[in-house]
Chain A
Amino acid sequence: MSIPLHISGNSSVHDFYCATECTWCDGCGDYGIMAAAKRAMVELGIAPHDVCLAFDIGCHGNMSDKMLGYRFHGLHGRVLPLAAGMKLANPKLPVIAFGGDGASFSEGVNHLVHSIRSHYPITFILHNNANYGLTTGQASSLTWQNQPMNTSPNGIPEDTMRPMEFVFSLGPTFVARTWSGDIKQMTRVMKAAIQHRGFAFVDVLQACPTYNKFASHQWLLEKCYDVSDEGHDPSDLEAAKKIAFDTSERVSCGILYQTEDVPHFIERLVPRKDVKTTPVEETKITDVSALMKRFV
């Protein structure tokens, strides 16, 4: 069994259309992110049946039945190992994982660490609205200081995590930041992420009009700029870190860092060298006589 034979090569945004009603708040960033995800796949010639989409739990996870594709809506915090498992079983499938900041920087932060250092060849879209939206606006580890939130009326006593410093410390091969109001930019970034050799980390700063009163759509509109407009070289790691970390005046967006020189997880597996088939295709009753004879 060989699936997929090849990526379809053509599709339309309409192919991804699902009749289920959207349930996000007016002005939610998820509308834009979903539109960009569909566009990126269409521009790459990926049809719904060509792709595996894995969703975490949260407002973004409600996207799992708002667009077509082979989808898996899993557990909170666990989307990355689920997606990695799909990819390792069938490396021919493009696999895109979607998760929020609560899932990725609290509940399942370990998976983010190990997915980056494992270099799984998958795309990760971080829906970063800096709070737990679906449970009605509690603080996440990315919520700013001094913001009264549901269950933390005095703001959080903890420090706010700095996601870019964290991610860059793990030796990533693709780091991008974009924001939910710029569909064109998100599409460009997601396309590059899907085509990336290894693990692509895409931080999408997402407007949450209901619960995030600090980094609003308006704030993002004013602060975000596209690094490609200023001639940033994504292969320059030091320059990438500098513009990624310093968000005091402006927020750098676009592909911040990218290298295609680092082998991904499957390429590092000695037993899989020169293997052309996928584990899915190899699944059959296997004669183990040779292994068995060693116990005689």
Chain B
Amino acid sequence: MNRVSIKITGAQGQGINSVGEMVAKGLKRAGYHLFGYREYMSLIKGGHSSYQLDIADSHIESSETKVDLLVCLNYIGLKRDLQDLKDGAILIHLIPGWKFSDDDKKLFEERKVTVLYLPMEKILKEMGSRPIVGNVLVTAVVWCLLGRDVNNVKDMIKEQFGHKGEKIVELNYKFVDRGKQYKDEEAGELEITLPAPDAKRKDDLLLTGSEAMGLGAIHAGVRMYCGYPMTPSSPLLKYIADNQNETGMVIKQAEDEITAMQMVSGAMFAGARALTATSGGGYDLMSETLSLNGITENPSVMVLAMRQGPSTGLPTWSGQGDMLLACFGSHGEYPRLVMSVSDTEDCFSLMPEAFNYAEEYQLPVTVLTDKHVAEGLYMQPQYNMKKAEMRRGKLITAQKELDKLKSSDRYDPSVEDGVSPRWLPGSKAATYCAQGDEHDAEGNVDETGPNAVLQMDKRMRKMESMKQNLPEPVSFVVESGKWKEERDPKDIDLLVVSWGSNKGAILDSLCELSACYLHYSYLWPLKTEKLMALASKAKKTIFVEATHQAQLAKLIKMETGFDFDHQILKYDGRPFFVDELSSQLLALSS
């Protein structure tokens, strides 16, 4: 895979996102394959944050640790990020009179780095403008250094600021021209050569995992969203709330996570599809309600957007350490489904499935995502609106069927698959109680021993019947330098197993190796048949996860007794970078 990466660093509030987003949009519209990755800190102004774009000659869902172009809007980047420069890289900075150390100068010499100083303050003063327009100047400089036509930037400015009037647009245009002038004068012919674009992808979407998940949720028929802000789940709340006037959805920013989960549970009981999302701490608060939905067999869906560490931990960074929490957290034993998204494709397509399983098996579903997917910027072929189906299982709505119901049908323990009929409040039918105490078939409290066994067995049978119907994990192989899905891979040297957002870096690394990747989307209940079949063929097995404990590997061991040959684990809050991961995989595979 031929790839190039550019990174803009600066203090939060300095506008690195607006530069990054405009460059990304421009490149996407020209058909360049790209992936965007943001790092930022838990504060509003200051700190050190970055916006990185990786561009490749085929679909890409990962970042590199090293960059070809580094833009430092403040001095912190100059102190921290110079080691990230590749051979032949370009460094642009905005700091007047900055003196590089001897070590820095040596590094520039060794790596043949071109250093450019962009006198932003001076230019702003000359042109008599406020600092905010400086972002446009930086964007234009970067755009020209990528060898692109500066008029593309003007078109995007027109699109973005057109509604603010001609004067604003003209002012921005001046800065675009000034950016081009700067590039011509200071860098001359120097340009970064981008990998070839693919015109077919010009009409792709450019969106984050949170936005994709929001679209998926609305697509799934979600009509009510209740949430409480918590990074990295907040962008989903924001996307859905921002579009409420168009979707007509009921949005409630609740007083806390307990409320959000309770409201969602009440709404699902009434028969609407409703959603909430939170991160680890909020999940802890919601988990009592998940247990309630377990015993009352009330369908529910919640999104758990993971970040790194216990307690507040690293609140704006990524991790996968809440997986076993989602599988086993909250009190008592009850059936549930835990699944995970990995990119914008399944952020969209798995949301209807989450609701379908919740309603078919009448249990709580947790959809795992993480900061890396939630805020990563993906190129995504347009979604197919005809693919999703609405499956509501044994939900009874026809009056003829409702007339036949007895209260004791609701929790009838004799049903073979554990799933008994469900009908909605307001239906003209016999009524029942969704009972949080152990109950008989009607929902009346029943504390007798035999009944407790009968009802527990009924509920837990749903785990087995659901497991039968869940898809197996998906396997990918590499063919002539590109990965592709392969249902039944043969001749496996190396088998890599993982889940969630690691998929991007793993697939992009695979292009360098001859390996098979097995990707899990459905985590609990866990299907292991395909894994065992592939593992028996493989010469070596490697497990990859962003945790300290190798949680899915533990779960696999618990279910099968199987041990991986190697584990690659990471828990510093950063995602797997493609160069780092491929060298680790390479070392272990030889």
Contacts and interface: CB of A to CB of B under 8 A. Distances in A.
Query: Does A associate with B in a complex?
Result: yes
Interface of A: 1, 3-5, 18, 20, 48-52, 54, 57, 62, 64-65, 68-75, 78, 81-90, 92-93, 110-111, 113-114, 266, 269-272, 275, 278-280, 282-292, 295-296
Contacts of A57: 436
B480 interface: no
Contact of A283 (B204, B272, B445): B272
A78 B288 CA distance: 10
Interface centre among A62, A85, A278, by most chain B C-beta atoms within 10 angstroms, is A85
Given A81-B263, A82-B263, A89-B267, A113 B255 contact: yes
Contacts of B123: none
Interface string B289-323: 10010001010000000000000000000000000
Contacts of B223: 89, 279-280, 282-283
Given A49-B429, A279-B250, A286 B218 contact: yes
A46 to B, nearest CB: 11
A176 to B, nearest CB: 24
Nearest to A79: B262
Nearest to B442: A65
A70 B289 contact: no
B329 interface: no
A282 B273 CA distance: 9
Interface stretch (B137-145, B205-213, B575-583): B205-213
A134 to B, nearest CB: 11
27 contacts: A49-B430, A65-B433, A65-B439, A70-B432, A73-B436, A74-B262, A75-B292, A75-B436, A82-B266, A84-B263, A88-B252, A88-B266, A89-B223, A89-B224, A93-B425, A110-B255, A111-B255, A113-B255, A272-B248, A280-B223, A284-B221, A284-B390, A285-B219, A285-B220, A285-B221, A291-B246, A295-B380
A71 B433 contact: yes
Interface of B: 203-207, 211, 215, 218-224, 226, 243-252, 254-256, 258-260, 262-274, 288-289, 292, 296, 298, 352, 380, 382-383, 385, 388-390, 397, 407, 424-437, 439, 442-445
B46 to A, nearest CB: 30
Contact of A85 (B244, B265, B380): B265
A52 B424 CA distance: 10
A216 to B, nearest CB: 28
Contact of B434 (A50, A71, A84, A286): A71
Chain B residues touching A, majority SS: mixed
A49 B270 contact: no
B408 to A, nearest CB: 12
B294 to A, nearest CB: 12
A291 B246 CA distance: 9
A279 B267 contact: yes
Contacts of A284: 221, 390
B270 A85 contact: yes
Contacts of B430: 49
Contacts of A295: 205-207, 211, 380
Contact of B425 (A52, A62, A74): A52
A285 B255 contact: no
B206 A272 contact: no
A122 to B, nearest CB: 10
A279 B432 CA distance: 22
B259 A283 contact: no
A292 B271 contact: no
A269 B382 CA distance: 31
Contact of B262 (A51, A78, A93, A279): A78
B259 A70 contact: no
B445 A86 contact: no
Contacts of B268: 85, 89
Contacts of B246: 271, 290-291
Nearest to A53: B433
Given A1-B397, A271-B248, A291-B246, A72 B426 contact: no
Contact of A84 (B204, B220, B266): B266
Given A271-B245, A271-B247, A292-B215, A279 B266 contact: no
B271 A280 contact: yes
B250 A4 contact: no
B435 A73 contact: yes
Contacts of B407: 68
B63 to A, nearest CB: 20
B289 A78 contact: yes
Nearest to B221: A283
Contacts, number: 231
A83 B248 contact: no
A114 B254 CA distance: 9
Interface centre among A93, A284, A291, by most chain B C-beta atoms within 10 angstroms, is A291
Contacts of A4: 426-428
A90 B272 contact: yes
Contact of A89 (B244, B256, B270, B298): B270
Contact of A20 (B247, B248, B380, B444): B444
B355 to A, nearest CB: 9
Given A49-B431, A81-B263, A288 B219 contact: yes
B435 A65 contact: yes
Contacts of A51: 425
A116 B465 CA distance: 43
Contacts of A292: 205, 215, 382-383
Contact of B445 (A54, A62, A83): A62
Contacts of B250: 88-89, 266, 269, 271-272, 279
B263 A285 contact: no
Given A4-B427, A74-B265, A89-B270, 18 more contacts: A3-B397, A49-B426, A65-B435, A70-B432, A71-B431, A78-B262, A86-B267, A89-B268, A90-B424, A271-B244, A271-B247, A279-B224, A280-B270, A282-B221, A283-B271, A285-B221, A285-B389, A289-B385
Contact of A69 (B221, B265, B272, B431): B431
Contacts of B211: 295
Contacts of A1: 271, 397
Contacts of A114: 254-255, 259
Contacts of B273: 283
Contacts of B243: 291
A49 B430 CA distance: 7
- Which 9 residue pairs across A and B have the least CB separation, nearest first? A85-B266, A85-B263, A70-B425, A279-B223, A89-B267, A3-B426, A89-B272, A81-B262, A89-B270
A86 B397 contact: no
Given A1-B397, A85-B264, A110-B256, A279 B272 contact: yes
Nearest to B380: A295
Contacts of A287: 219, 385
B123 to A, nearest CB: 33
Contacts of A279: 223-224, 249-250, 267, 272, 274
A51 B270 CA distance: 11
Contacts of B397: 1, 3
A91 to B, nearest CB: 9
Contacts of B289: 75, 78
B271 A3 contact: yes
Nearest to B359: A283
A111 B292 CA distance: 18
A205 B309 CA distance: 47
Contacts of B298: 72
Contact of B258 (A78, A275, A296): A78
Nearest to B267: A89
A281 to B, nearest CB: 9
A81 B259 contact: yes
Nearest to B440: A65
Contacts of A291: 215, 218, 243, 246-247
A127 B572 CA distance: 51
Contacts of B267: 85-86, 88-89, 279
